[in-house]
């Protein structure tokens, strides 16, 4: 793996609303196949001569296309993502050799789609940044080579990515023809990086940005859970008058966390889309200790069953919302404990789920558990700094884990579009009176 650098001072570039529109779309991926004459197809010639030229010319090209060597980041103090270039940045270039038949890959007849996919270089990305372009050069035995690019659609479209490749090709050609170290680039291939000429009078960038999914983790401390329990208890004394079997001391961290978080989530969704005002909640139950006879706790395999909570569609939005939802979750768990895990279960759950969705419900789910002890997973370098349940991004799920400080709190993880996440955060902290 080589790193092609273009040294200069740290520079930032804004993104336009056109960029933000395509920020989450798959990269533009392209492979150029070239036939080599027999005199140049030997691996030693390819790696000693051609690769040297192909490696040096991208460095020359990057001096003209500086933002491509940077990273897309979203600073906490910024309202939108930006491109950041620092002197240590560059473009990854992988040099490889393949035993695949070159004649086969350049034919127009159908072949396995995975064959072309194998030629695409990896475009690095993480929660904090995304690379903009990566390149791979591959020699095929005796016949030819390929140049493969993967470019981030949030920075350049197909025309722009082609312009970069043509500029690279031009400078490579000039280097071969003239032996110049820094040939001049054609004016028509010189890029214009002036994002200010793109105007956004309708603030489309804000609209696109607010529709993006973002991930966040919210921590409920033991003190927070006590506050929520007191909130539910006060409503219990006024509304329920102890007519049910609900007792404040019987409210678990799971019940309190789900009730509070889901009410905040329902309010946030309703705040972003007023027509969304009907919600339901289903959660999984571990059956290991609840079967007859019970099975060992170390049974390895699926052993969970799902239950819908018997809430009314509007319970998540009413004045006594946290109390009402907590009561319904508690009563469902009590029913399961008293009558068995399959009593009133969702054996037709998928049908019910689809029916609720068709009726316009937001159906909440939960993944993970505050009893799994995920922060006890120590490989020898200490406990994890953070544990993320990536799969909660596939619906209206909240991910649960115990707080990493081990003091009885619960972590709540969500993936929501940015507008809903902002509203959720506001409801979540205001409800706990946290500044």
- How far is the C-alpha of 329 from the C-alpha of 308, rounded, in Å? 9
Q: 3-state SS string over 392-434?
A: HHHCCEEEEEECCCCCCCEEEEEEEEHHHHHHHHHHHHHHCCC
| Lookup: tokens for 143 | 């016949």
Q: Which residues contact 429 (CB under 8 A, 6 or more apart)?
A: 435
Residue 160's SS3 state is: helix
Q: What is the DSSP letter of 124?
A: -
From 283, 310, 290, 279, select the one nearest 399 (Cα to Cα): 283
Active-site residues: which are they?
153, 378
Per the listing, tokens 């404990």 go with 337
Task: Give the number of other CB atoms < 10 A from CB of residue 302.
Answer: 8
- How far is the C-alpha of 201 from the C-alpha of 312, rounded, in Å? 43
Cβ(116)–Cβ(136) below 8 Å: no
Cβ(17)–Cβ(198) below 8 Å: yes
Q: How does DSSP assign 283-313, residue by residue?
A: EEEE-TTTSSS---TT--S--EEEEE----T
- How far is the C-alpha of 213 from the C-alpha of 389, rounded, in Å? 15
- How far is the C-alpha of 132 from the C-alpha of 293, rounded, in Å? 57
- How far is the C-alpha of 427 from the C-alpha of 278, rounded, in Å? 18
CA distances from 220 to 42, 58, 347, 422 (A): 64, 50, 33, 17
329: enclosing H helix or E strand = helix 321-339
Residue 55's SS3 state is: helix
């Amino acid at each position: 793996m080589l790193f092609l650098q273009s040294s200069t001072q740290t520079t930032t570039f804004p993104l336009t609303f056109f960029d933000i529109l395509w920020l989450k779309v798959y990269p533009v991926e392209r492979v150029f196949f070239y036939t080599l004459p027999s005199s140049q197809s030997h691996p030693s010639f390819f790696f000693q001569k051609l690769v040297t030229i192909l490696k040096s010319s991208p460095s020359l090209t990057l001096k003209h296309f500086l933002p491509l060597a940077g990273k897309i980041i979203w600073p906490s103090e910024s309202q939108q993502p930006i491109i950041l270039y620092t002197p240590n940045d560059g473009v990854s270039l992988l040099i490889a050799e393949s035993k695949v038949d070159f004649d086969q890959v350049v034919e127009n007849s159908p072949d396995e789609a995975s064959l072309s996919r194998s030629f695409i270089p990896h475009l690095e990305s993480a929660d904090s940044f995304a690379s903009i372009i990566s390149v791979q050069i591959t020699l095929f035995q005796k016949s030819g080579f390929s140049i493969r690019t993967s470019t981030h659609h949030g920075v350049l479209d197909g025309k722009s990515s082609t312009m970069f490749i043509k500029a690279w090709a031009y400078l490579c050609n000039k280097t071969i023809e003239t032996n110049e170290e820094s040939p001049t680039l054609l004016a028509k291939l010189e890029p214009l990086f002036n994002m200010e000429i793109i105007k956004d009078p309708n603030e489309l960038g804000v609209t696109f940005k607010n529709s993006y999914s973002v991930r966040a983790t919210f921590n409920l401390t033991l003190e927070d859970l006590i506050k929520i329990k007191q909130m539910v208890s006060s409503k219990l004394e006024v509304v329920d008058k102890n007519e049910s079997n609900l007792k404040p001391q019987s409210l678990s961290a799971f019940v309190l966390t789900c009730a509070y978080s889901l009410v905040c989530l329902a309010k946030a969704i309703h705040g972003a889309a007023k027509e969304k005002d009907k919600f339901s909640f289903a959660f999984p139950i571990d059956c290991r200790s609840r079967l007859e006879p019970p099975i060992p706790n170390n049974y390895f395999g699926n052993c969970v069953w799902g239950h819908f909570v018997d809430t009314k569609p509007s319970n998540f939005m009413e004045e006594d919302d946290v109390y009402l939802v907590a009561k319904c979750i508690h009563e469902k768990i009590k029913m399961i404990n008293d009558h068995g895990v399959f009593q009133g279960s969702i054996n037709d759950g998928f049908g019910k789920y689809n029916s609720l969705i068709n009726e316009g419900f937001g159906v909440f789910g939960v993944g993970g558990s505050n009893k799994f002890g995920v922060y006890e997973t120590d490989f020898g370098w200490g406990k994890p700094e953070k544990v993320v349940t990536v799969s909660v991004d596939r619906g209206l799920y909240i991910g649960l884990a115990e707080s990493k400080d081990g003091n009885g709190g619960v972590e709540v993880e969500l993936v929501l579009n940015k507008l809903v996440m902002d509203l959720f955060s506001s409801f979540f902290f205001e409800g706990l009176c946290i500044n």
